[in-house]
């Protein structure tokens, strides 16, 4: 399963109408910790396959979505189920910590 880039145009369809949990990585190209986490997020997408949806939102390109979800620092990881936020973590996390958010 590949990681999906989200924007204002596809957000509702991909996240709010998803029938599986959605992990969103809020990031920016200039953010060192975000770059460290990118391969971890890719591994989670690969390992968990079709049981979840893994998405990334570039906060520089999608500021409205960052504001909507109250993202104050990055990376921020948010898990949504049925369109509702069920978990959130900020900063560098281990792969196991992020996978634990999806249970």
Q: Which of 24, 34, 44, 74 is catalytic?
A: 34
Q: Which of 28, 31, 48, 101 is catalytic?
A: 31
Q: Are strands 53-58 and 4-5 parallel, antiparallel or unpaired?
A: parallel
Q: Are strands 4-5 and 76-81 parallel, antiparallel or unpaired?
A: unpaired
Closest by alpha carbon to 86, among 11, 3, 35, 20?
A: 20
Q: For the chain, how big is the Rg over CA atoms in Å?
A: 12
Q: Is 55 a catalytic residue?
A: no
Q: Is 34 a catalytic residue?
A: yes
List residues with catalytic annotation: 31, 34
């Amino acid at each position: 399963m590949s990681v999906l880039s989200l924007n204002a145009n596809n957000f509702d369809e991909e996240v709010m109408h998803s029938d599986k949990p959605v992990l969103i990585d809020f990031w920016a190209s200039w953010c060192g910790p975000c770059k460290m986490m990118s391969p971890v997020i890719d591994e989670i997408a690969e390992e968990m396959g079709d049981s979840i949806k893994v998405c990334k939102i570039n906060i520089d390109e999608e500021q409205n979505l960052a504001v909507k979800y109250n993202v104050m620092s990055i990376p921020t990881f948010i898990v949504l189920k049925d369109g509702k936020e069920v978990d959130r973590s900020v900063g560098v996390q281990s792969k196991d910590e992020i996978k634990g958010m999806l249970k």
